[in-house]
Structure 1
Amino acid sequence: MKKLLISMIMMATAIYAEEVYATFQVEADKSAELAFSSSGIVNKVHIDVGSIVKKDDVLASLENSDLKAMLESAQAAEKYAKKDFDRQQKVKQVIDQAQFDQYAYKYENAKAQAAYQKALFEKTVLKAPFDGVIFKKMVEEGDVVSGAMIRTILMIQSLHERKLILTFDQKYHATVKVGDLFKYKVDGDDNLYEGKIIKIYPALDIDKRKVIAEVEAKDLMVGLFGEGMIITNEK
């Protein structure tokens, strides 16, 4: 297959000065392992493997009725502390400065407490960090999670955006440049694709003595591999 591929691409790109053989593996452009940073019982899981989500969609939540009540109480305290502070501001010129400062302190303290309770509450809600698709799920409703022993419960990857992780011989490290064309075939697929190199890693793969680069791609299955030719030095 390698000889046939090289021959086909060389014939199709005869106007180019040099072709560099490279192999690749397909990876998602973005991927993340998601976990709760708080302890508790999983109350609701809103997604499953294959679910398509948008950034900030709620994926799962812990039992948080106690924290919700504390947040509402803190927000109410902030609301009334602000009313008191606003009233004192209107008569600031005719009251003692120390008395005014006490109202200002109470309001600032109430704001801080409300912000703190909100932060605690939000730790019980797991949201999508970007648009994508859930490709692994390791949690069910009723499971216990611990913030002290954080474990991955969901894995997400970009829905369409992919990157090819290329490796090619180190002797071409000065020849291949960002922007060079890459023509390639995916194993088991007779179609010929092409893309441009968007990144060249600054360090070699020490074990294989290979240069590593990236090429943008779309909609290929993560984990596939293939081979192709980098077209350099266009005449």
Structure 2
Amino acid sequence: MMKKYFILLCVIVSLQAEEVYATFTVEAQKSADLAFSSGGIVDRVLVDVGTMVQKGEPLAILQNDDLKAMLQIAQTTLKYAKKEYQRQVQVKNIIDKAKFDQYAYKYESAKAQLHYKQALLDKTILKSPFEGVIFSKKVEAGDVVSGAMIRTLFEIQSQHQRKLILEYDQKYWKSVKVGDRFSYTLDGEDKRYEGVITKIYPTVESDERKIKAEVLTKDIKVGLFGTGTIITSKRDAE
């Protein structure tokens, strides 16, 4: 009796299941176009196409000897402004308040100048925003870059994390939901893969009347494409 009930339940579920055809392309889960925010002459290029980089790793450096010198001057100025301020703190109660405020101002101003000079120096070092791989390099040592005309110098993408960008007919906009399974094959392969829809785009593509969705995966070459079916449920759509 229980066996018959189980078979009947499976039949009901299968009748409720709905398969939605979808095509997809493979994109990196993270990608970015990188450029300097300040101008100058490129002193060193530290990576090439295919280089694996960590978050915060330097990729290229502008000539910055003048800014390093300015930073050293700011550090020295702060050092002595702090000493003078600390001496005045010891006699604060017996000196003119306006005079004490002048020393406090010089000390705070010196700290602000140091932060400013450090920020200028930091802008001459282009760093990776996340762990990934460089897949495009458009700069060499000696190139001139301009902060007023920012151009992409490197393109980076996540090393392993990928996402499938699905497209399916708009008529299924009520049926497909986040969490639905996606069974798919890559073009030219027989192997079948499975994933789960993690995001559905909120608008319909006006040209082809398609809806887009995302499925996260790993270690598939960016740019590949394929087809598959979204396994959804008519019951859930009602």
Q: TM over 0.5: same fold? A: yes
Structure 1 CA distance, aligned partners of 2:121 and 2:223?
37
Deviations 1:103-134 (A, max 9, x none): 11001111111111111111110000011000
Matched, 1:24 2:24: yes
- SS of 2:148's equivalent? helix
- SS of 1:148's equivalent? coil
Structure 2 CA distance, aligned partners of 1:16 and 1:158?
38
1:5 maps to which residue? none
1:196 maps to which residue? 196
AA matched with 2:193: Y
In the TM superposition, what is the alpha-carbon distance from 1:234 to its structure 2 partner?
8.7
Deviations 1:74-128 (A, max 9, x none): 1211122112212222222222111110011001111111111111111110000
TM-score by length of structure 2 reads: 0.90
Written as runs of structure 1 = structure 2, the 5 A alignment for 1:71-150 is 71-150=71-150
Structure 2 CA distance, aligned partners of 1:198 and 1:110?
50
- SS of 2:204's equivalent? coil
Structure 1 CA distance, aligned partners of 2:55 and 2:180?
33
AA matched with 1:80: Y
Runs of 4+ in 1 over 4 A off after TM superposition: 13-16
1:4 maps to which residue? none
CA contact (8 A) 1:16 1:231 kept: no
AA matched with 1:186: L
Out of 78-87 and 106-115, give the one that drifted further. 78-87
- SS of 2:205's equivalent? coil
Deviations 1:167-190 (A, max 9, x none): 101010011001111111111222
1:226 maps to which residue? 226
- In structure 2, do the counterparts of structure 1 residues 189 and 165 end up closer, same or farther at CA, with 3 Å as the change threshold? same
AA matched with 1:100: F
1:54 maps to which residue? 54
Structure 1 CA distance, aligned partners of 2:101 and 2:226?
70
AA matched with 2:19: E
Structure 1 CA distance, aligned partners of 2:205 and 2:148?
35
Deviations 1:194-228 (A, max 9, x none): 11111101101111101111110101111111010
Structure 2 CA distance, aligned partners of 1:33 and 1:150?
11
The number of equivalent residue pairs is 223
User: Which entry has the higher C-alpha Rg, 1 or 2?
Assistant: 2
- Runs of 5+ in structure 2 lacking a partner? 1-12
- SS of 1:115's equivalent? helix
- Runs of 5+ in structure 1 lacking a partner? 1-12
CA contact (8 A) 2:34 2:153 kept: yes
- SS of 1:201's equivalent? strand
TM-score by length of structure 1 reads: 0.91
CA contact (8 A) 1:139 1:153 kept: yes
How high is the sequence identity, in percent, across the aligned residues? Answer: 63
CA contact (8 A) 1:45 1:59 kept: yes
Query: What RMSD, in angstroms, separates the aligned Cα atoms of the two structures?
Result: 1.5
1:37 maps to which residue? 37
Deviations 1:126-152 (A, max 9, x none): 000011000000011111111111110
Structure 1 CA distance, aligned partners of 2:97 and 2:16?
80
Out of 83-92 and 107-116, give the one that drifted further. 83-92
